[in-house]
């Protein structure tokens, strides 16, 4: 933007002359706006002429992204947008975005681009905020002679309720106000442009609040934009005042940030959730443990539940230290409810990791209850490891006891567990072979059934119990 316009916007005079209006300043900056070109009847199609514009600008050393897919460039200085009909004419408007490099003058780049377009018989207008738009002057301006002024300001359309003089005041302050729907909302609110600017110039995260109807409840509640921006840093859902009202009434910003960090989410934070945890006894000390653990939102709820059950911050840290996988799906909470402390859980968890047991990951309270039986029997993970390696069903110590009480050793049990694992297509029979009662039922048919291979062959042959007895009797005979 030129220095004259900069002086204009802060209320100074320029060279002792009367201040220029924004439209006059645009005309001063972009004299080619006044030029009209006529396209010869025998001219090439608009698609072809745009290709010449592309070649012209690239020949001057500019990075230009064209409207056709094969012409696209990354990070262009000149970005041409258009869609074409089959015969090569432009459908709608041609829009050109100019992005100068840091050491380039934007106005100079715009004039260079505008000259290249006009050289190929494209009428185009440069706007206050640096965009270029082509239109069919003959048709469009006859219907709406004021349209050119609105385009020079960069507005996306004319306004039926705001005088052009007022539009210039608003647009001169921020490009955001080129959106007429947005501007009309702020204009009708009764706020001045100075009062509205802090809302529309908030960070990109607060883009929803650049429209008055979204910011209205915040304004009516007397909340300053600076505070709103801080709430929205916590959660995008806080762009709506109704979503944050209960938080503001019950927690400070710092406390809200702690809860958001502990829950590890910035989406759809509900105060009812936080209120429930507070009532169960979750404290700031608990939150600090959860935040430091950085285990993810799916784990936070499990740790919150442990804290709400009366665990101290020190105990909670012991559970958190067992890691994300162990704490997932509420597993730590279930183990604690089963009466297993964090230290014991850690040793049993380590053993399961050594075995690489996939079943461990999908079972919670059942496994915890089984481990408790091992612990109550005075057994260590080392005592259980070989049994559990033979079958995940032996997490339940009562299953081990049943085999041992029947006089079976682990070496005798292992072949039956391997046989059960082979019966993938027959899960009920496989489960039967994992219990002493199921194996004993086969042995009661015949002593030959002490051989797991014979039982496997019978099961996979789909014979009935009666047929099995007959087959076994003949084998014995």
30-61 tens-digit pLDDT: 999 988 888 899 999 999 999 999 999 999 99
Give the domain-ending residue among 154, 178, 205.
154
pLDDT band for 130, please (50, 70, 90 cuts): confident
422-436 tens-digit pLDDT: 999 999 999 999 999
H/E run at residue 64:
strand 64-65
419, 438 contact by CB (below 8 A): no
- Please check the confidence at residue 205 and state whether its pLDDT lies above 70: no
pLDDT band for 207, please (50, 70, 90 cuts): low
Q: Is residue 129 part of a domain?
A: yes
Q: Is residue 360 part of a domain?
A: no
Burial class (CB in 10 A: 0-12, 13-18, 19+), 113: buried
Q: Is residue 224 part of a domain?
A: no
Q: How many independent structural domains does the chain possess?
A: 2
- If one counts every other C-beta atom within 10 angstroms of the C-beta of residue 280, the result is 12
256-312 tens-digit pLDDT: 999 999 988 766 678 998 999 999 999 999 999 999 998 888 788 889 999 999 999
Mean pLDDT (whole number) for 355-382: 74
DSSP one-letter code for 392: G
Give the domain-ending residue among 101, 130, 154.
154
Average pLDDT for the chain: 85
Mean pLDDT (whole number) for 324-336: 84
pTM of the predicted model as reported, rounded to 2 decimal places: 0.63
Strand pairing category for 64-65 and 78-84: parallel
Tokens found for residue 201: 């110039």
147-175 tens-digit pLDDT: 788 888 888 888 889 999 999 999 999 98
Q: Is residue 7 part of a domain?
A: yes
For 107, residues 6+ apart whose C-beta sits below 8 A from its C-beta are 1, 2, 29, 30, 130
Q: Is residue 88 part of a domain?
A: yes
Q: Is residue 28 part of a domain?
A: yes
Q: Is residue 54 part of a domain?
A: yes
Quote the pLDDT of residue 15.
Answer: 44
Quote the domain boundaries for residue 445. 406-477
Cα gap 361→384, rounded to integer Å: 18
Task: Supply the DSSP string of 329-347, one letter for each residue.
Answer: GGHHHHHHHTT--HHHHHH
Quote the pLDDT of residue 269.
Answer: 79
Kindly report the three-state secondary structure assignment for every residue of 348-380: HHHHHHHHCCHHHHHCCHHHHHHHHHHHHCCCC
68-79 tens-digit pLDDT: 999 999 999 999
What size, in residues, is the chain? 477
455, 465 contact by CB (below 8 A): no
280, 296 contact by CB (below 8 A): no
Give the domain-ending residue among 137, 154, 171.
154
Name beta bridge partners: 124: 134
| Cα dist from 466 to 31, 136, 463, whole Å | 104, 93, 8
pLDDT band for 88, please (50, 70, 90 cuts): very high
Q: Is residue 289 part of a domain?
A: no
H/E run at residue 419:
helix 410-422
């Amino acid at each position: 933007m030129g220095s004259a316009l900069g002086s204009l916007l802060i209320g100074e005079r320029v060279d002792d002359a009367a201040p220029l209006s924004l439209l006059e300043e645009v005309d001063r900056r972009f004299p080619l706006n006044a030029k009209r070109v006529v396209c010869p009847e025998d001219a090439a199609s608009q698609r072809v002429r745009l290709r010449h514009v592309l070649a012209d600008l690239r020949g001057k050393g500019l990075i230009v992204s064209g409207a056709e897919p094969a012409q696209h460039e990354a990070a262009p200085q000149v970005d041409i947008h258009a869609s074409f009909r089959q015969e090569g004419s432009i459908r709608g408007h041609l829009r050109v975005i100019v992005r100068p490099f840091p050491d380039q003058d934007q106005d100079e780049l715009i004039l260079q681009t505008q000259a290249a377009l006009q050289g190929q018989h494209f009428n185009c207008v440069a706007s206050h905020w640096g965009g270029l738009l082509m239109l069919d002057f003959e048709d469009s301006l006859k219907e709406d002679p004021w349209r050119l002024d609105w385009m020079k300001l960069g507005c996306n359309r004319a306004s039926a309720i705001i005088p052009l003089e007022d539009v210039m005041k608003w647009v001169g302050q921020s490009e955001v106000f080129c959106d007429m729907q947005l501007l009309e909302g702020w204009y009708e609110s009764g706020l001045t442009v100075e009062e509205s600017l802090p809302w529309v110039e908030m960070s990109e995260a607060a883009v929803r609040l650049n429209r008055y109807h979204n910011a209205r409840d915040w304004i009516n509640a007397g909340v300053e934009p600076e505070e709103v921006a801080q709430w929205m840093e916590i959660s995008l859902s806080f762009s709506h005042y109704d979503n944050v009202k209960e938080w503001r009434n019950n927690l400070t910003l710092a406390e809200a940030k702690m809860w958001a960090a502990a829950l590890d989410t910035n989406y759809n934070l509900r105060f009812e959730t936080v209120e429930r945890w507070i009532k169960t006894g979750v404290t700031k000390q608990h939150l600090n443990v959860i935040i430091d653990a950085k285990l993810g939102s799916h784990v936070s709820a499990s740790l919150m539940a442990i804290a709400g059950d009366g665990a101290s911050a020190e105990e909670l840290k012991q559970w958190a230290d067992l890691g994300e996988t162990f704490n997932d799906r509420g597993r730590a909470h279930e183990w604690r409810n089963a009466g297993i402390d964090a230290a014991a859980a850690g040793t049993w968890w380590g053993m399961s990791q050594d075995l690489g047991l996939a079943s461990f990951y999908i079972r919670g309270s059942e496994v915890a209850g089984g481990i408790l039986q091992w612990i109550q029997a005075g057994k260590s993970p080392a005592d259980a490891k070989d049994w559990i390696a033979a079958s995940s069903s032996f997490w339940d110590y009562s299953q081990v006891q049943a085999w041992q009480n029947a006089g079976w050793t682990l070496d005798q049990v292992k072949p039956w567990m391997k046989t059960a694992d082979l019966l993938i297509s027959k899960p009920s029979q496989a489960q039967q072979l994992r219990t002493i009662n199921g194996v004993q039922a086969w042995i009661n048919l015949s002593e030959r059934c002490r051989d797991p291979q014979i039982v496997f062959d019978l099961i996979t042959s789909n014979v009935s119990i009666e047929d099995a007895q007959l087959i076994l009797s003949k084998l014995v005979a």
